[in-house]
Structure 1
Amino acid sequence: MRRWIIAVIVELGVIVLALAGAGLSWRSGIHVTDFAPFGDSPGFAAIRYLAPWLLLAAVLVTVAGVFAVDATARLVDGLRGPAETGR
């Protein structure tokens, strides 16, 4: 098995893990609290955003994007072969 195939498979795994982590951290970064109506005041929902979790989600999506670009470049380069890439 060639090295670039192993690298692409590992990078695809990292992409999946980074996106899963981004989804989980995004869900942890948004807290919704529902308040019931009380007397004359209407009920409402308060949304609280937690910046560290949302920042982590953004960083993980960026990491997944970088690995996706690298995996695509390795895949295209590996499929072309050394004769076509000029090496």
Structure 2
Amino acid sequence: MRRWIIAVIVEVGLIVLALMWAVLSWCNGIRTTDFGPSGDAPGFTATRYAAPSLLLAAVLLAVAGVLAVDATARLVRGLRGLAGAGR
């Protein structure tokens, strides 16, 4: 097996992991709390955004994007090399 195929497979796996961690981090970064009515004050829902978790999600998304570009470039280069070797 050629090295570029292994590199593409590993990068695709890393892309999937980075995207899963980004989704988990994003979900962890947004928290809602429901408050019931108290006297004359109506009930409401408060949303809290945790910046570190949201920043981690954004960084993981960027890393997944860079890995996707690199995996695509390796795949195209490898396939062109195979097509050129067959001539």
The TM-score with structure 1 as length reference comes to 0.91
After superposing the two structures, state which structure 1 stretch, 65-74 or 33-42, moved more. Answer: 33-42
Structure 2 residue 41 is the aligned partner of structure 1 residue 41: yes
Q: Matched residues in 2 for 1:83 and 1:76: separation?
A: 10
Question: Could you list the runs of 5+ residues in structure 1 that have no partner in the other structure?
Answer: none
Residue identity matched to 1:60: L
The letter of the residue matching 2:59 is V
Any idea what the Cα deviations from partners look like across 1:12-36, whole Å, max 9, x if unmatched?
0000000000000001111100001
Number of the residue aligned with 2:63: 63
Q: CA RMSD in A?
A: 1.2
Number of residue pairs the alignment of both structures matches: 84
**Structure 2: tracts of 5 or more residues without a match:** none
Deviation digits for residues 25-58 of structure 1 (CA, Å, limit 9, x no counterpart): 0011111000011222111000010100000000
Aligned to 1:29: 29
TM-score normalised according to structure 2 size: 0.91
Identity %: 74
Moved over 2 A (4+): none
